[in-house]
């Protein structure tokens, strides 16, 4: 089934998309800087009674603002990605609470992964475990040395072997397609804009405004607040644009990963059963919102389905059934009850 999508083409497309995201980040920052100065100049033109906006002058002011501050956008983007490249592994681990595990601690999941990797001649990624009763998983990393598959303890302890193998195959496909790197870049991309917006918002909310003018009268204080409100509005627009990119990337990649898992395991029924078990049990408490988009399921991101990062599980199951001519199965009793309490750390075989 996955071969129909063309793995090589998908990897190539994801390389292009990663490049576009990397280039688009500083360009979006520059666009936001230019927009700030255009809006400010247009407002300043209206200070005089009866004045009209000269947009040519406003856009010229925006261009001058880009020339003066644009290099800082490129420098900031470069530094952010350097930090993300070298420390994303630790950032992800701290944010998610994932813990590296060895084959000795979790022999079964390593054996399942090894069989899948041998069938394709792949280097095995590492495993990490999140101590949560939720049924979920995700892959992360930006290169061969940092690729890893992260499973929840609830998933490992609840799913039968064939269904667990399907989930591992799903996450391995994200790594094979290189869309895991694309998602890490998109999280970084959205994260910096979100951070700047929150910083401006908190400054407005709790005070401590910078003295943007040399004067100290009320008019200048109001001007400082206006500047920060405009900056916040522009940041929010940039954040919304970045989120739209993220949604588009997330929804398509899940269909492709489902298909890739079936190509690896030759077991579409197990993939459908795994999705059925995960449905309604995927929520990771205290898990960063930006990280949840990387999971195999993220049912709590939708507002009437409008901003869902993942397609509905029912749609994914239907797609698998139709593409493989496999009837949708009746879900048998689980191999183990769905955990409802935090799990105790320790080896599991």
Kind and range of the H or E run holding 138: strand 137-140
DSSP class of 220: H
Pairing of strands 126-130, 148-152: parallel
Give the chain's end-to-end CA distance (angstroms, integer).
32
Q: Which of 340, 312, 316, 337 is nearest to 328 (CA)?
A: 316
Rounded Cα gap, residues 179 and 189, in angstroms: 15
Output the CA–CA distances (angstroms, integers) from residue 243 to 50, 239, 240, in the order listed. Answer: 40, 6, 5
DSSP per residue, 171-218: HHHHHHHTHHHHHHHHHHHHHHHHHHHHHHHHHHHH------SS--SH
Q: Is 254 a catalytic residue?
A: no
Provide the token pair at 131.
Answer: 């101590």
What is residue 129's three-state secondary structure?
Answer: strand
Q: Exposure string (b/e) for 260-270, b if CB count within 10 Å is 16 or more?
A: bbbbbbebbbb
The CA-based dihedral angle spanning residues 251, 254, 259, 265, taken in that order and rounded to the nearest 10 degrees: -170
Give dist(CA 138, CA 134) in Å, integer.
13
Structure-token pair, residue 273: 């059963």
Please tell me which residue in 128, 157, 171, 254 is annotated as part of the active site. 171
Which whole-number Å values give the CA distances from 276 to 2, 271, 316, in the listed order? 21, 9, 10
**Which residues are tagged catalytic?**
171
């Amino acid at each position: 089934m996955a071969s129909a999508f063309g793995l090589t083409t998908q990897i190539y497309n994801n390389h292009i998309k990663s490049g576009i995201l990397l280039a688009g980040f500083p360009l979006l920052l520059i666009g936001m800087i230019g927009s700030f100065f255009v809006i400010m100049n247009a407002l300043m033109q209206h200070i005089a009674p009866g004045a009209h906006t000269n947009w040519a002058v406003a856009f010229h002011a925006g261009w001058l603002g880009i020339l003066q501050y644009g290099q800082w956008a490129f420098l900031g983007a470069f530094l952010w990605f350097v930090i993300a490249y070298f420390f994303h592994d630790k950032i992800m681990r701290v944010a998610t609470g994932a813990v590296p595990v060895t084959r000795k601690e979790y022999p079964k999941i390593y054996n399942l992964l090894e069989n899948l990797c041998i069938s394709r001649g792949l280097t095995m990624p590492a495993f990490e475990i999140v101590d949560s009763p939720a049924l979920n998983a995700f892959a992360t990393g930006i290169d061969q040395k940092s690729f890893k598959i992260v499973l929840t303890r609830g998933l490992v302890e609840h799913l039968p072997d064939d269904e667990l193998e399907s989930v591992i195959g799903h996450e391995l496909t994200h790594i094979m397609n290189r869309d895991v790197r694309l998602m890490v870049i998109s999280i970084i991309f959205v994260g910096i804009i979100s951070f700047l917006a929150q910083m401006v918002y908190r400054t407005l909310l709790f005070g401590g405004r910078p003295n943007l003018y040399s004067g100290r009268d009320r008019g200048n204080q109001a001007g400082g607040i206006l500047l920060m409100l405009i900056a916040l509005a522009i940041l929010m627009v940039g954040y919304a644009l970045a989120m739209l990119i993220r949604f588009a990337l997330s929804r398509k990649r899940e269909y492709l990963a489902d298909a890739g898992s079936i190509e690896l395991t030759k077991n579409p029924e197990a993939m459908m059963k795994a999705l059925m078990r995960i449905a309604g049990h995927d929520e990771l408490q205290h898990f960063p919102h930006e990280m949840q988009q990387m999971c195999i399921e993220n049912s709590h991101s939708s507002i009437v389905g409008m901003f869902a990062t993942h397609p509905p599980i029912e749609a994914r199951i239907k797609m698998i059934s139709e593409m493989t001519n496999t009837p949708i199965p009746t879900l048998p009793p689980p191999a183990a009850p769905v955990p409802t309490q935090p799990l105790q750390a320790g080896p599991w075989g």
